[in-house]
Structure 1
Amino acid sequence: MIRIEDRYFSLNRVLLQLVGLWPYQKSKFVRLQLICFFIIQITFIMAQLTIFMTAKCTADLVIKIFSLTFGIICLTITYNSFVVNSENVKYLIEQVEQICDDLKDKNEIAIVEKYIEAMQNFIVYYLLLNNINVFLNVCCLVLSGSVGFILAGIELWPDFQDLFFSVNKSRTRHLLIETEYFIDQEKYFYLLLFHINASFFIGVLTLLATGTMLHAYLQYACGMFKIASYRMENTMKIYISQDFNLRNKNFVQEGIIYAVDIHRKAMKFSDYLISSFEVSFMFLIVFGVLTLSLNILRITSLKFNNGEIIIPLIAFVSCFLYMFLTNFTGQEITNHYNYLFVAAYNAQWYMVSLHIQRLILLLLQRSNKSFGLNIGGMYVASIKFFATLMNTSMSYFTVLYSMQQ
């Protein structure tokens, strides 16, 4: 028998293992990996903040430092949220396995596999052409992952010039990112460069691993909502196609019960996922908006022929796309939640018995209550909330920009 993590979460398992976040088989090496990654991220944040101890604190310096620091803090929060919620991540995988084992209809199994496969194979070319959500996700990751290469290339370019063009002129090497390590940067340049780029690579891997895992969970929830609507449609279709004398009222009742049951499980699964990471998501919203605002401010204050614009530009695009993808997936959950009620509404209810009509009416009354990925009882992930985040970011940017003038 193929295990659920091998069948549906094979890609996610590999990615999470790279950053030590896979909830199974926690060896001593994995624990050491977690500690090392955490220390690298924290020390990089500290190296950026300690610049205020040696440099004159100006508005430009504050914006320059925090525009990047807040982004690294977001990645660190994401990493630690999976460390803290390791058991919850494992529990959600087991819930997927349990519910999938209960599916007997081959069409229902095909629905689940369709949604999970869309996530597992997001690197494949044809999905880039047919799935805009996956395409944007890949763009976000490519842009984010290129930060480390760009930083290393810019900072090592003088050395390449000396090597290939035999430039004998003495050069002073300095890090592109403002940091303070309290050691000679010229002497330990390569060590500090390694530390900075290691922090970026860990952040990118974390973004990739955790983002795809959360998206896989939500894709699975969408599949469960789709199965609920399929059960409803299929039950009514079979019942109506039968001869009048052969119609079985209990068959319809059982079909509606099964549809409502899988619908309820999908809601419970989504709520448990959000509640597990609720605190982390709240912090990510705050720091994400600040990161977006500060990087917009930096982009407007820098010239496009200036190499320094690369970092805020990539940070802005990555943050923007990540916010969009998160809220787009939240909107998908809300839309799929309504599929069951649409199926009940479109059913030929006038051709069933009065008792079944009452059941359908009770089901439709539930549709008056909306459902979504509710974060802290204040925010619901949706396209509307994404627009709110953008408006908030632009408002902060406008205030900061006016203060600079």
Structure 2
Amino acid sequence: MAVAIVSTFLAHRRTMDLFDNRYYKINKMLLRIIGRWPYQSPFEGRVFLTLLLILTGSQLIPQILGFIAVWGDMENFVECMCPFGTAATCATKLINIIYHDEEIKRLVTQMQRDWENVLPGPETEILQRYSERGRKYTMAFTIYLYIAVTVFILGPVLPTFFENSAVNETLSSRLPYIAEYFIDTEKYFYHILLHSYVCSMAFVTIIIANDAMFVVYLVHACGKFAVLGYRLSHMTEYCKFDENDHQSFKTDDQVYRHIANCVAVHKEAIQFADYIETSYSTSLLLEVGQCIVLMSVTGVQVLSNMDDPEKLSAYVSFIMGQLFHLFYSSWPSHELMDHSTKICDFIYDGEWHRISIRARKLLTLMMMRSLVPCKITAGKLYLMSMENFCSVLSTSMSYFTVLTSMQS
């Protein structure tokens, strides 16, 4: 019993050390803020999650009520859809990451094992290179989304601070989005405004924490396939080669064990990709759906507010945020497909002709499996890829055209 406790503690300690380095530190911090870091204390996780639920709930409920209040008013209804859709997406992502808590923990643990199992030298450098790529993706996504939401929520209200008091009679129209608080909006304008700002940042933090870690998992999966590819393309370098031996190796067992290990790593990489698919498939379906709808609706809002610079800047930033968000999920998913199918190329690059027939049979199994790419889907209905990313843009434009014709 004592040995098991010590082993668990040491494994936890190693995981903490890995995610405190420069590659994953931001992701760990964001997940801790929303109370979903797998290895934070249960008390801390519950406290942070409770505070987040209070914040998001206190904003989501007034938005739902505001959504109902403008039902039938086409212009205000369309204006409500963008922030409400974003809030609903955040709630979905939070529920998803809570529901798949065990799968998320399994992914984090597997990442730790991968770092422990790579050999010093080229293999470690490959994993570091991919981890650095994941860090840059996280930084870019975090900075861009916080800037986008800042522009969106500040755009409508900035004129309030520069115009005369006559304009203050319609302060409620300067709020970032329509919401029903059942209090005097004019009297408590700045209180409501501050509340909406804090809640908006909470919403965006949920999106960033969830999606940035999703991309880190994908990039790590690509790194696993890249390390495997290196082992296969340099298969003879991992074994003691004897030039005088007519079979090129002192023993067949040595190269066979190396190839068998590669088969196990290949299976592990595929399983890792499957865990990502299981954990995020449902939330991705809702994300893609709301992206199509909200980009179409926001496009209509852009045309309707061409003479209103404040609202125009807000909606343009919203569209750009949606585009970047979908691209951010699609690009690494497409990369995973490419990496998983390159195993055949790596095998061809290796000196497979110098190994025994018995070892070649194992390579054949890997080649056959690599013909089926690892895929990340949205609810098993939509394949996350760059091709489908372009299809979503096309579909959004079609709906935008329909909505514009209806409005006119």
Alignment TM-score, normalising by the size of structure 2: 0.85
2:37/2:45 contact within 8 Å kept: no
Q: Which moved more, 1:179-188 or 1:39-48?
A: 39-48
Alignment of 1:4-153 (within 5 A): 4-7=18-21, 9-28=24-43, 30-51=45-66, 54-55=69-70, 57-120=72-135, 122=136, 137=141, 140-147=144-151, 150-151=154-155
1:194 corresponds in structure 2 to 194
1:249 corresponds in structure 2 to 252
1:218/1:333 contact within 8 Å kept: yes
Q: Deviation of residue 52 (structure 1)?
A: 5.1
Q: Deviation of residue 256 (structure 1)?
A: 1.9
RMSD of Structure 2 on Structure 1 (CA): 2.7
1:232/1:255 contact within 8 Å kept: no
CA distance in structure 1 between the aligned counterparts of 2:152 and 2:306, rounded to whole angstroms: 21
CA distance in structure 1 between the aligned counterparts of 2:244 and 2:365, rounded to whole angstroms: 24
* Equivalent position SS for 1:186: coil
1:283 corresponds in structure 2 to 286
Cα offsets for 1:171-215 (capped at 9, x unmatched): 322233222212101111111101211121112222222222122
CA distance in structure 1 between the aligned counterparts of 2:363 and 2:101, rounded to whole angstroms: 40
Q: Deviation of residue 337 (structure 1)?
A: 0.8
> CA, structure 1 residues 385+236, in 2 after alignment: closer, same or farther (shift >3 Å)?
farther
1:128 corresponds in structure 2 to none
Alignment of 1:120-269 (within 5 A): 120=135, 122=136, 137=141, 140-147=144-151, 150-151=154-155, 154-155=156-157, 157-159=159-161, 171-172=168-169, 173-174=171-172, 175-176=174-175, 177-236=177-236, 242-245=242-245, 246-247=248-249, 248-269=251-272
2:402 corresponds in structure 1 to 399
Structure 2: gaps (5+ residues): 1-12
AA in 1 matched with 2:76: L
Structure 1: gaps (5+ residues): 123-132, 162-166
Q: Which moved more, 1:271-280 or 1:236-245?
A: 236-245
> CA, structure 1 residues 20+349, in 2 after alignment: closer, same or farther (shift >3 Å)?
closer
CA distance in structure 1 between the aligned counterparts of 2:67 and 2:220, rounded to whole angstroms: 46
CA distance in structure 1 between the aligned counterparts of 2:61 and 2:307, rounded to whole angstroms: 29
Q: Which moved more, 1:245-254 or 1:313-322?
A: 245-254
Q: Deviation of residue 108 (structure 1)?
A: 1.7
* Equivalent position SS for 1:62: helix
1:322 corresponds in structure 2 to 325
* Equivalent position SS for 2:108: helix
1:125 corresponds in structure 2 to none
2:6 corresponds in structure 1 to none
AA in 2 matched with 1:4: L
* Equivalent position SS for 1:370: coil
Q: Deviation of residue 221 (structure 1)?
A: 0.9
CA distance in structure 1 between the aligned counterparts of 2:168 and 2:217, rounded to whole angstroms: 51
Cα offsets for 1:124-178 (capped at 9, x unmatched): xxxxxxxxx6786356324334236625xx52543456xxxxx676732223322
Taking only the aligned residue pairs, the percentage that are identical comes to 23
> CA, structure 1 residues 42+393, in 2 after alignment: closer, same or farther (shift >3 Å)?
farther
> CA, structure 1 residues 192+70, in 2 after alignment: closer, same or farther (shift >3 Å)?
same
2:283/2:378 contact within 8 Å kept: no
2:346 corresponds in structure 1 to 343
CA distance in structure 1 between the aligned counterparts of 2:351 and 2:37, rounded to whole angstroms: 47
Cα offsets for 1:288-316 (capped at 9, x unmatched): 22112211221122205431122221111
AA in 2 matched with 1:187: K
1:289/1:389 contact within 8 Å kept: yes
CA distance in structure 1 between the aligned counterparts of 2:138 and 2:253, rounded to whole angstroms: 42
AA in 2 matched with 1:158: T
AA in 2 matched with 1:171: N
